[in-house]
């Protein structure tokens, strides 16, 4: 065992103990964060507009600060982008993470000197919790890669702009610099397909032990490695045993990844976003990710079915329940206030608080009142694949409201790596799994309002071709699991 791995174990124990201290006192941890946020933002324009000087309790805050999405907050953000100070947070942000919005074009999410360290610490601590629990630390001596966006940044009014993953790349600790791949030059390649080819060339002969990224794009990297070597990724990288991912549920990809790798590897799930780093998997044996309650973010939760009410009830962590679908609302030390992140979560544990990401509040199907969410379609597909030879590369679901004949239905667009031997039984298995999970969907099937699901095959690389056609190939971009319209699926190339 190397000195580096011994040091990692000692550090892991320290971080674990620190985590225990705050996670076992969740309400107090959030109260501390809440008071600090209000105090530090009293003199900002937003703080004055919303009378932060009079806010003493969460009830005061909920009365003064409405829930907002990016569009609602945009007038304040635009002032910060122009270089004005003390608008949403004291001074100016260090960075703006530039993301692609659905209704507002480009979105600019502020990152401040107070918020930035938590993005780095959370990713580090996820790995340290894994080391503490498993005792595995030898991987720290090998090479590590995170498939990310370009680290090239632009600057306006003293603030740097770029993709979050590119910004984070500038904060890799010195003790990891020698292990980090790919090279800076390769990371700067904008064309995703050229970038992946360059990464394959750089990493093929290295001792890769940790690989990280969004599963759909890591899959592309693995496929190119396999094409180059003619053997499983696990044979190319014999010491590769840890996959770190975020952004989407790994389960629909797991069977395909194990086939590409040639064996099972451990995995760590992360819940990062430009708006903050919210949770990470702290245990290989427990379901869900540890919600970070002491990391400069104050959380509120609104039940999904109540979210579009005129004044939905806003719950704090001390009031939530298990297995309820909540929209997550955040206020942060980067200057986001009552901000609707758009993600929905469910709590799997209340001691400590662990969550799973169940979907997006805007990504659902409710063409007939069924309100199907992302978690349900992912679980249904997983159940249908179990016990069959089917393996799936990518999928999305949309309603077919006006079929040429017969009843409307939910149409599943699936790019298969390996098709099911019994297509009818596979579609039936998906439908049965959906009916077990969603009573409203079941009622529509029983009542002959909807036909059972229809599976439509997408051509090989069809989803990649679609993402390329809209300029979102690679990086942190991902396919929505479902939509309430057919804007995406009508552009897919099907068999």
DSSP string, 302-361: EEGGGTTSSS---B-GGG--BT--EEEEEEETTS--SEEEEEEEEEEEETTEEEEEEEET
Q: Using CA atoms, how far apart are residues 335 and 97, in angstroms rounded to an integer?
A: 13
Burial class (CB in 10 A: 0-12, 13-18, 19+), 334: buried
The single residue listed with the structure tokens 């693995």 is 222
Q: Using CA atoms, how far apart are residues 110 and 148, in angstroms rounded to an integer?
A: 19
Residue 102 has pLDDT above 60, yes or no: no
Mean pLDDT (whole number) for 22-39: 97
State the pairing for strand pair 451-457/289-291. unpaired
Closest CA to 193 of 473, 451, 2: 473
Can you count the helices (H) and strands (E) in the chain?
A: 17, 18
Peptide bond into 182 cis (omega under 30): yes
Coil, strand, or helix at residue 52? helix
Contact 179, 144 (CB under 8 A): yes
Count of beta carbons in the 10 Å neighbourhood of residue 98: 19
Q: Using CA atoms, how far apart are residues 130 and 135, in angstroms rounded to an integer?
A: 8
Count of beta carbons in the 10 Å neighbourhood of residue 465: 15
Distances (CA, A) of 112 to 10, 169, 280, 320: 30, 16, 21, 29
The DSSP bridge partners found for residue 405 are: none
- Under the banding of pLDDT at 50, 70 and 90, the label for residue 109 is very high
Residues 414-447 pLDDT 10s: 999 999 989 999 999 999 999 998 888 998 998 8
pLDDT for 475: 65
Burial class (CB in 10 A: 0-12, 13-18, 19+), 184: exposed
Mean pLDDT (whole number) for 459-481: 85
Contacts of 185 (CB under 8 A, 6+ apart): none
Residues 235-291 pLDDT 10s: 999 999 999 998 777 877 888 899 999 999 999 999 999 999 999 999 999 999 999
Residue 485 has pLDDT above 90, yes or no: no
Residue 152 has pLDDT above 60, yes or no: yes
**Hey, which CATH number is domain 1-361, 3.40.50, 1.10.287, 3.10.530, 1.10.760?**
3.40.50
Residue 104 has pLDDT above 80, yes or no: no
- For residue 335, the number of C-alpha atoms closer than 13 Å in the C-beta half-sphere is 31
State both tokens at 138: 């030898």
pLDDT for 103: 42
Residue 165 has pLDDT above 80, yes or no: yes
Residue 214 has pLDDT above 60, yes or no: yes
pLDDT for 193: 85
What backbone torsions phi and psi does residue 354 show, to the nearest 5 degrees?
Answer: -125, 145
Domains of the chain by residue range: 1-361, 374-491
Q: What is the pTM of this model?
A: 0.81
Looking at CATH, the fold of the domain delimited by 374-491 is given as: GMP Synthetase; Chain A, domain 3 (3.30.300)
Mean pLDDT (whole number) for 372-397: 89
Mean pLDDT (whole number) for 107-111: 94
State both tokens at 418: 């390996």
What backbone torsions phi and psi does residue 301 show, to the nearest 5 degrees?
Answer: -140, 135
Mean pLDDT (whole number) for 118-132: 95
pLDDT for 472: 79
Q: Which helix (H) or strand (E) holds 34?
A: helix 26-40
Q: Using CA atoms, how far apart are residues 325 and 307, in angstroms rounded to an integer?
A: 11
CA 334 vs. chain centroid, Å, equals 19
Residues 35-81 pLDDT 10s: 999 999 999 999 999 999 999 999 999 999 999 999 899 999 999 99
Q: Using CA atoms, how far apart are residues 320 and 323, in angstroms rounded to an integer?
A: 9
Contact 176, 354 (CB under 8 A): no
- Under the banding of pLDDT at 50, 70 and 90, the label for residue 373 is confident
Mean pLDDT (whole number) for 146-160: 89
């Amino acid at each position: 065992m190397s000195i580096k791995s011994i040091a990692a174990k000692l550090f892991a124990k320290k971080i674990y103990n620190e985590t225990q201290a705050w996670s076992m006192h969740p309400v107090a941890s959030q109260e501390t964060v809440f008071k600090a946020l209000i105090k530090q933002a009293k003199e900002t324009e937003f703080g004055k507009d919303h009378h932060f000087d009079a806010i003493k309790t969460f009830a005061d805050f909920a009365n003064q600060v409405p829930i907002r999405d990016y569009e609602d907050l945009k007038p304040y953000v635009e002032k910060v982008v122009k270089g004005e100070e003390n608008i949403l947070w004291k001074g100016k942000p260090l960075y703006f993470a530039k993301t692609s919005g659905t209704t507002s074009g480009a979105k600019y999410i502020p990152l401040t000197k107070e918020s930035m360290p938590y993005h780095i610490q959370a990713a580090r601590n996820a790995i340290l919790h894994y080391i503490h629990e498993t005792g595995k630390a030898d991987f720290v001596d090998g090479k590590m890669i995170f498939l990310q966006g370009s680290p090239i940044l632009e600057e306006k009014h003293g603030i740097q702009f770029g993709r979050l993953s590119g910004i984070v790349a500038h904060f890799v600790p010195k003790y990891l610099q020698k292990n980090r791949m790919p090279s800076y030059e390769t990371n700067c390649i904008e064309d995703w397909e050229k970038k992946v080819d360059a990464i394959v060339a750089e990493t093929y002969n290295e001792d890769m032990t940790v690989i990280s990224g969004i599963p759909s794009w890591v899959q592309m990297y693995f496929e190119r490695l396999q094409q180059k070597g003619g053997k499983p990724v696990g044979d190319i990288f014999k010491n590769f045993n840890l996959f770190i991912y975020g952004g989407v549920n790994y389960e629909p990809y797991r069977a395909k990844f194990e086939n590409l790798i040639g064996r099972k590897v451990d995995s760590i799930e992360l819940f990062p976003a430009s708006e903050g780093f919210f949770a990470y998997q702290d245990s290989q044996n427990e379901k869900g990710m540890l919600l970070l309650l002491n990391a400069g973010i104050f959380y509120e939760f609104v039940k999904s079915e109540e979210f579009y009410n005129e004044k939905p009830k806003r719950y704090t962590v001390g009031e939530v329940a298990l297995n309820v679908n909540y929209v997550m609302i955040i206020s942060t030390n980067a200057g986001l206030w009552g901000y609707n992140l758009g993600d929905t979560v469910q709590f799997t544990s209340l001691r400590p608080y662990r969550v799973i990401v169940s979907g997006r509040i805007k990504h659902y199907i409710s063409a007939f009142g069924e309100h199907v969410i992302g978690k349900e379609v992912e679980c249904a597909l997983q159940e249908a694949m179990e016990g069959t030879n089917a393996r799936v590369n990518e999928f999305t679901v949309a309603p077919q409201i006006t079929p040429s004949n017969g009843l409307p239905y939910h149409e599943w667009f699936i790019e298969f790596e390996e098709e099911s031997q019994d297509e009818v039984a596979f579609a039936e298995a998906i439908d049965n799994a959906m009916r077990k999970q969603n009573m409203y969907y079941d009622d529509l099937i029983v009542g002959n309002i909807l036909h059972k699901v229809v599976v439509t095959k997408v051509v090989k690389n069809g989803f990649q071709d679609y993402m390329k056609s809209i300029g979102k190939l690679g990086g942190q971009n991902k396919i929505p699991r479902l939509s309430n319209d057919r804007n995406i699926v009508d552009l897919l190339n099907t068999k």
